[in-house]
């Protein structure tokens, strides 16, 4: 089993992308303030820093971490789930913007979408559809409220599904599948099996954006995905139809 970590060049490129993105969208004074206040946290991905700013700006509720023990979850995979926490919006935007795709031709799917922050971010791009899959009813309900409130949309079809990711049927479209280390190995394997079966039925383009890629070895080992280097703070994989080995 291989587990490839980010290379230094890739990380540096990703860092520069985040810096440029923030300069463009927030201005020099905001960026300098961040650098001097908390230089060590400047571009962290794990905890969202601009979260309150995001929620303040859009009137949403996406920030607060929720451990799963506080939630009623009817799933055999409950214990494999990771707690709800979200991510720096710019880290997601940069990963999406660096994909070499026409957004209109792809459906964006967040497996383990929680309160739906990345659905909101993805809806800023003209994806054909944006779908979240979340097994906590409480988090799904919050996500639905957030979707209703979000005003900065280019994608017209945005939804959260109350469903276990292990039972999710992939749509027959090209897909961008986003994950922020949502679950453990048996769910992950099940999701990959479902994806492969779905591609067997109808081969198509798939990109996977995987933040905090604890189980990247499962993607590295899969026969139908290939890791690609893009300036993003996530592990990114692609499947293109012609790259599939014949059955």
Ligand X SMILES: C[S@@+](CC[C@H](N)C(=O)[O-])C[C@H]1O[C@@H](n2cnc3c(N)ncnc32)[C@H](O)[C@@H]1O
Is the Cβ of residue 45 or residue 206 nearer to ligand X in the bound state? 45
Nearest Cα to Cα of residue 155 among 94, 106, 97: 106
Residues that bind ligand X (CB under 6 A): 68, 75, 77, 81-82, 84-87, 110, 112-114, 117-118, 133-136, 139, 164-166, 180, 182-183, 187
Is the Cβ of residue 166 or residue 199 nearer to ligand X in the bound state? 166
Q: How far apart are CA 81 and CA 190, in angstroms?
A: 14
Compute the least distance from the CB of residue 118 to ligand X, in Å: 5
Is the Cβ of residue 31 or residue 163 nearer to ligand X in the bound state? 163
Nearest Cα to Cα of residue 178 among 210, 147, 205, 212: 210
Is the Cβ of residue 139 or residue 158 nearer to ligand X in the bound state? 139
Alpha-carbon distance values, 173 to 89, 108, 128, 179 (Å): 25, 10, 9, 18
Compute the least distance from the CB of residue 85 to ligand X, in Å: 5
3-state SS class at 59: coil
Compute the least distance from the CB of residue 40 to ligand X, in Å: 22
Compute the least distance from the CB of residue 110 to ligand X, in Å: 5
Tokens of 219: 């993607």
Is the Cβ of residue 81 or residue 213 nearer to ligand X in the bound state? 81
Compute the least distance from the CB of residue 66 to ligand X, in Å: 7
Q: Starting at the edge strand that comes first in sequence, how are the strands of the sheet with 174-180 ordered?
A: 158-162, 129-134, 106-111, 174-180, 206-211, 235-239, 226-228
CB atoms within 10 A of CB 209: 26
């Amino acid at each position: 089993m291989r587990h490839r970590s980010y290379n230094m060049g890739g990380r540096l490129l990703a860092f520069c992308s985040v810096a440029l993105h923030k300069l463009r969208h927030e201005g020099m004074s905001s960026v300098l303030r961040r650098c001097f206040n908390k230089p060590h946290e400047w571009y962290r991905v794990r905890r969202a820093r601009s979260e309150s700013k995001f929620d303040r700006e859009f009137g949403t509720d996406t920030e607060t971490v929720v451990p799963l023990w506080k939630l009623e979850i009817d799933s055999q995979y409950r214990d494999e789930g990771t707690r709800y926490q979200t991510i720096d919006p710019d880290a997601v935007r940069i990963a999406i913007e660096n994909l070499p795709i026409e957004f209109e031709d792809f459906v964006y799917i967040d497996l383990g979408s929680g309160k739906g922050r990345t659905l909101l971010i993805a809806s800023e791009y003209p994806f054909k559809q944006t779908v979240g899959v979340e097994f906590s009813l409480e988090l799904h309900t919050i996500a639905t409220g957030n979707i209703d409130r979000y005003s900065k949309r280019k994608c017209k079809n945005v939804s959260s599904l109350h469903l276990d990711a292990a039972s999710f049927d992939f749509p027959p479209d090209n897909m961008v599948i986003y994950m922020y280390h949502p679950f453990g190995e048996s769910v992950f394997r099940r999701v990959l099996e479902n994806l492969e079966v779905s591609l067997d039925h109808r081969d198509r383009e798939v990109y996977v954006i995987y933040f905090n890629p604890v189980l990247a070895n499962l993607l590295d080992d899969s026969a139908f995905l290939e890791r690609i280097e893009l300036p993003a703070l996530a592990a990114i994989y692609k499947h293109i139809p012609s790259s599939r080995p014949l059955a």
